[in-house]
Amino acid sequence: SQNQAMWWTVDSKTLVYYRFDESKVLDYHLTVKQNAVQDELYTEAYPKAGAPNPTVQLWAYDVANGASKQIDTTFASTDADIAQYVYNVRFAPDGQTLLFNRTNRKQNVMELCASDLATGKSRVVIQESNPNGWVDNSPRMTWLKDGKSFLWLNEHNGFANFWLGSLDKGLISKVTDLKAEVDGISKLDEDRKVLWYTAHDGENPYLIQLHRVGLDGKGDKRVTDPSLGHMVTVSADGTKVLDRASKMGVAPVTRVLSADGKVLRELGKGDLSGYAESGYKPAERFMVMGADGVTPVYGYFCKPRDFDPSKKYPMLLRVYGGPESGSGREAFKGADAVCELGFITAWIDAKGTSGRGRDFTQAVYRKLGVVEIDDTAAAVTNLCKANPWIDPTRVGVEGTSYGGYFSATALVRHPEVFAAACASSSVTSWIHYDSIYTERYMDTPQNNPEGYKAGSAMEYVKDLTGKLCLFYGTADDNVHPSNTHQLIA
């Protein structure tokens, strides 16, 4: 997100700033102070999907002469619609070279640009594109000591991996080339020309592993045990690793490892005896098939303390479910207090979520509310079949924001799976949400009317058979109350 609109050069001689034109953006009105005798009207320019966006420019103000010069953000590109969004404005380490990202409205072409403040002219350093989905609009960029070279994260092989790049040459060479998602940098050792990084390549995609590789891309080695997930700290000299390892059902153990992963010393280990004595049960990992019957879907569930496998339990599925979301890294997870009310609680990472590569995440492109919900419904059905103590006639789903949208839409689209839903702050049709988020995943309503219709809860609510609880904020200026009002109407 962009929450800054002015930037000083390091010598404080030039101020770079945004200039916006919202004149074509339609207003949205909210009634606020509804608990007062006289309410008030709050008005905000809010570009909804397919409607006019504000236009944006970058300008540079010279303190010495009091003059402003426009920075060229709209110079020609391979995409004629580029510079609909200009963001992530910052300076290179030299404090003078202005950098910004720009994308087209579809957000499937993104360019890292560099500008000369003296002339206002700009150039493309790196372009990323994806005609069949969206691109990362703010790829991770880690500077090297020379202030011109950097590590850059992209998905050229279908998974997030690091490349070496520079302001002068753009992308130069691969540093990592896993068929798994790179997670982050643990240590960048330029003196030894070594990168320590983490990746989603354990025995399941959520068990994070530590790797070591040369900055030339050679000698990649996984250092940690793939049967566990790891939180690591690499020592200053790169000879040792502090590793906290665990997974669901396995207590954390903290150890010192050698640079090659050999256990040098165990510092401490979690004690689960209290769980056994009290009856409380930590979360359990599961894997079932999704809607296509061939792609595994992972999740976890929790049981009540007095769990009896001969009984039938209602299950509450907690969701967010939006694109590029998910449960993240797997580690030991404790008991869930809600289970003590007699529920099984569960979480499912269906298609659209992160950590499993571009194809898995972008399977929802132009089909929000369909692919991820169908995948989850199939996973729930298969989970119930595999665990006869889950009552398949008493499955509920609850969530907020995208999770509210997911919950309401799942109930009306899959009444054979879900008996009840609690939906908070729900988008109920994507025509009601903002352009920058919605169009990234759905394109515009003009270009994708079928997708917008298929993903609208309002198309199915007339056939509602389950129990639906709706709540929302009357002054919510993000997910507007009209979403809930129109679903009810």
Band (8; pLDDT cuts 50, 70, 90): very high
What would the DSSP string read from start to end of 259-326? TTS-EEEEEEE---HHHHHH-----EEEEEE-TTSSSEEEEEEE--TT--TTS-EEEEEE----TT-S
Amino acid 248 reads M
With 0-12 / 13-18 / 19 or more C-beta atoms within 10 angstroms meaning exposed / middle / buried, residue 40 is exposed
Superfamily of domain 140-270: TolB, C-terminal domain (2.120.10.30)
Q: What is the pLDDT of residues 287-299, one digit of tens each?
A: 999 999 999 999 9
Other CB atoms within 10 A of residue 6 CB: 10
HEC states along 316-340?
EEECCCCCCCCCCCCCCCCCCHHHH
- Helix 402-413 crosses helix 371-386 at what angle (to 10 degrees)? 70
Q: What is the pLDDT of residues 326-382, one digit of tens each?
A: 999 999 999 999 999 999 999 999 999 999 999 999 999 999 999 999 999 999 999
Report the C-alpha gap between 110 and 86 in whole angstroms: 10
Q: What is the torsion angle, in degrees rounded to the nearest 10, for the CA atoms of residue 432, residue 438, residue 439 and residue 445? A: -30
Say what the pLDDT of residue 174 is: 98
- In the predicted model, what is the mean pLDDT of the chain? 97
DSSP 8-state assignment for residue 198: E
Say what the pLDDT of residue 133 is: 97
Does position 1 have pLDDT exceeding 80, yes or no?
no
- The H or E element containing residue 376 is helix 371-386
Please answer whether residues 77 and 86 qualify as being in contact, where contact means their C-beta atoms are separated by less than 8 angstroms: no
SS3 446: coil
Q: List the one residue out of 78, 136, 44 whose CA is nearest residue 434.
A: 44
Give the fold, CATH level 3, of 273-488. Rossmann fold (3.40.50)
93 Rama class: left (phi>0) / alpha (psi -120 to 50) / beta: alpha
Please answer whether residues 4 and 15 qualify as being in contact, where contact means their C-beta atoms are separated by less than 8 angstroms: no
Report the C-alpha gap between 4 and 279 in whole angstroms: 50
Name the pTM for this structure.
Answer: 0.95
Other CB atoms within 10 A of residue 400 CB: 20
Average the pLDDT over 101-126 and give the result.
96
- The H or E element containing residue 361 is helix 358-361
Which residues in the chain are classed under CATH 3.40.50.1820?
A: 273-488
Please answer whether residues 45 and 27 qualify as being in contact, where contact means their C-beta atoms are separated by less than 8 angstroms: yes
Which residues in the chain are classed under CATH 2.120.10.30?
A: 140-270
Band (138; pLDDT cuts 50, 70, 90): very high
Band (318; pLDDT cuts 50, 70, 90): very high
Q: What is the pLDDT of residues 198-252, one digit of tens each?
A: 999 999 999 999 999 999 999 999 999 999 999 999 999 999 999 999 999 999 9
Distance of CA 28 to the CA centre of its chain: 27
Please answer whether residues 361 and 161 qualify as being in contact, where contact means their C-beta atoms are separated by less than 8 angstroms: no
Say what the pLDDT of residue 408 is: 98
HEC states along 143-180?
ECCCCCEEEEEECCCCCCEEEEEECCCEEEEECCCCCC
- Phi, psi at residue 485, to the nearest 5°? -55, -45
Does position 435 have pLDDT exceeding 90, yes or no?
yes
Q: What is the pLDDT of residues 47-56, one digit of tens each?
A: 999 999 999 9
Report the C-alpha gap between 195 and 187 in whole angstroms: 6
